[in-house]
Amino acid sequence: MCSANFHSYSPSNLPLWCFFLESFKVHLKGLWKSECRCGPEISSVKDLSITAEWNMESSLCPCTEPGNSLSAPLASWEEYYRWRSLPLHSPAAVLLHWPLTLYHCLQLSRIQASRCDANDTLRIHYLGPEKELLQLPVFAELLALFPGVHLCIELVGPTVPRSRDGEVLNISSYAHCSAESCCCRSFAASEDVNCSALTLKLWKGVYHERYSDMDSNPHLIVAPNAGLAAYPTWLPTIEMIRKIGIPAMFTDFCEEAAHLASCCISSITGQPLRVPIQVNPFRQPIAENNSALYIPCYSNCFIFGM
């Protein structure tokens, strides 16, 4: 799925990421706007739209319900692409690593989402979102991964625009493809929170300072690409997570960062990791192009938990 070809593209006057996106005609379009440095800064964007589109034909993106339900947990991009009937050259995984990583976090945490009925809610606190804030519609894929379950994800981080603090967004349909005649456009998303299968709520600030403002205790805390050892503001957050005793999953770009994060967690908890460091099968399949390290770096590459 696209990763094998990325580094073999011919040189051009566009940076590699931009050239890759342009090859699919999605550069600076829809959900893809924040995937390269040409895109807008998150802090400058006032509209965190849930109507942004794939800007690709329906055969390349999951814009409708899957043809069949999952018979077993997904364990790789290949399995996901087969389930969603996507060709392996589709770049969809470049964006879908956000919801699929969250799905994998729930699998590793052994949280039984299937036990939730129509009257129950699976609650997740999602820490430190950045470019995800400009790609919120991709989280609609959780509707396919957890059918019949109402998911409530509260996203908290310093990059949430102050004007959107406390805002609630309801998602009940998949991001649209580019075809005007596709059935994905015939389903009107409900504005009624009670009809929405996925609710997102935004909070500006750091978790340990905003936790008391949030609606309820989560089943799981997730912090993608956290960089725990790089930012001192994580220390009081980890201490608070230890005190409340809720499972927390983290990811990072490279193995070195994951090991430093593990030491940081253990120094506070006095315990080894509950979920040991491992490669995330749903990491973004294209390497980071701006890394100063001479080691492989991928978004959501390594995963671990406390």
d(CA 138, CA 62): 9
Given this model, what pLDDT does residue 47 score? 60
Q: Which pLDDT score, from 0 to 100, does residue 224 have? A: 99
CA gap 208, 242 in Å, rounded: 11
Q: Which residues of 141-157 are buried (b: 16+ CB within 10 A; e: fewer)?
A: bbbbbbeebbbbbbbbb
- Model pLDDT, residue 14: 61
If one counts the domains in the chain, the total is: 1
Provide the sign of the torsion angle of the four alpha carbons 173, 176, 181, 185, taken in this order.
Answer: positive
Could you tell me if 261 and 229 are in contact, meaning their C-beta atoms sit under 8 angstroms apart? yes
**DSSP string spanning 121-144?**
EEEEEEE--SGGGG-GGGGGHHHH
Predicted local distance difference test score (pLDDT) of residue 192: 43
Quote the CA–CA distance of 130 and 157 in Å, as a whole number.
8
pLDDT of 296: 81
CATH number of 276's domain: 3.40.50
Calpha distance 223→129 (Å, rounded) = 8
Contact 152, 122 (CB under 8 A): yes
Q: Which domain holds residue 255?
A: 3-8+15-305
What's the pLDDT at 191?
Answer: 41
Residue-by-residue pLDDT tens, the chain, 306 positions = 654 333 333 344 567 888 889 999 999 999 999 888 887 776 666 566 678 899 999 999 999 999 999 999 999 999 999 999 999 999 999 999 999 999 999 999 987 655 554 457 899 999 999 999 999 999 999 999 999 899 999 999 999 999 999 999 999 899 999 999 999 988 644 344 444 589 999 999 999 999 999 988 999 999 999 999 999 999 999 999 999 999 999 999 999 999 999 999 999 999 999 999 999 999 999 988 655 667 889 999 999 999
Q: For residue 228, with 0-12 CB atoms within 10 Å meaning exposed, 13-18 middle and 19 or more buried, which class applies? A: buried
Q: Which of 305, 302, 297, 284 is nearest to 35 (CA)?
A: 284
Task: Give the chain's end-to-end CA distance (angstroms, integer).
Answer: 31
Q: Is 182 exposed, middle or buried (0-12, 13-18, 19+ CB in 10 A)?
A: middle
Q: Which of 42, 78, 71 is nearest to 164 (CA)?
A: 42
Q: What's the confidence (pLDDT) of residue 112? A: 61
CA-nearest of 108, 101, 194, 109 to 141 is: 101
